[in-house]
Structure 1
Amino acid sequence: MNLTISGHHLDVTPAIREYVQNKLERITRHFDQVIDSHVILCIDNLTEKEKRQKAEINLRLAGKIVHVASAAHDLYAAIDMLMDRLDRQVVKYKQMLKDHDNACIKRMSEGGEEEPAAA
């Protein structure tokens, strides 16, 4: 998995970089087919001081791009919310793939003939 972490109006310290990498390990534990991810951390000059720190991620999976954003008063809290939302979306996508694979199997009777469709 390729990981890109960039900061807008802030310097990405090694501590923040390591924190994001540790949180992304949880995502790769659930779904290992992640191609690459791009994390953007920024500080906005908003009048609302409780939501100045923003974190966004674009996660590219096989056949889908997942975009998640979160804002909080603390950058670490924004990253935590971001990873929670991302985790839910990845698990939902994985479940959708699993259900879709099982939906296309034709039901066969014991004699080897297809069962008639219910009208």
Structure 2
Amino acid sequence: MQVNISGHHIDVTEAIDGYVKSKFEKLTHHNDLITSINVFLTVEKLVQKAEASIHVSGKDIFADAQSEDLYTAIDALTDKLDRQLIKHKEKLKSHR
């Protein structure tokens, strides 16, 4: 699994990088077919945004979240992606 983290108007420090990677490693528990993850962090005045796209078995899953705190936005983002991955996995099982 390859994780790419980039930022707009923000420096991606080692602390942020480690936090993001630890959160996204938990997503592999639901689906181990994840090939790549692209995370994009932005700062706009008082709003911190986190966006991510995941490439899973031929499909791209996208989610975004925003909050006043960057770490809260990352938590909300991983929760959304977790729900989407579970739903995608259930669809794959039901069609076979």
Alpha-carbon separation, structure 2, partners of 1:21 and 1:30:
16
AA aligned opposite 2:71: Y
Q: Indicate whether 1:73 and 2:68 are aligned.
A: yes
AA aligned opposite 2:27: I
Q: Shift of residue 61 of structure 1?
A: 0.8
Alpha-carbon separation, structure 2, partners of 1:38 and 1:63:
15
Alpha-carbon separation, structure 2, partners of 1:26 and 1:96:
20
Alpha-carbon separation, structure 2, partners of 1:63 and 1:13:
31
Residue 20 (structure 1) aligns with: 20
Alpha-carbon separation, structure 1, partners of 2:6 and 2:20:
11
Q: Indicate whether 1:64 and 2:59 are aligned.
A: yes
Runs of 5+ in structure 2 lacking a partner?
none
Equivalent residue of 2:78, what SS?
Answer: helix
Residue 53 (structure 1) aligns with: 48
Q: Shift of residue 26 of structure 1?
A: 1.2
Residue 91 (structure 1) aligns with: 86
Alpha-carbon separation, structure 2, partners of 1:2 and 1:21:
10
1:24-35 alignment to 2 at 5 Å?
Answer: 24-35=24-35
Question: TM (normalized to structure 1)?
Answer: 0.79
Runs of 4 or more, structure 1, over 4 Å off, are: none
Which structure has more relative contact order (CA 8 Å, sep 6+)? It is 2
Runs of 5+ in structure 1 lacking a partner?
102-119
Larger radius of gyration: 1
* Sequence identity percentage: 45
Q: Which has the higher strand share?
A: 2
Question: TM (normalized to structure 2)?
Answer: 0.97
Alpha-carbon separation, structure 2, partners of 1:70 and 1:54:
6
Alpha-carbon separation, structure 2, partners of 1:95 and 1:18:
30
AA aligned opposite 1:76: Y
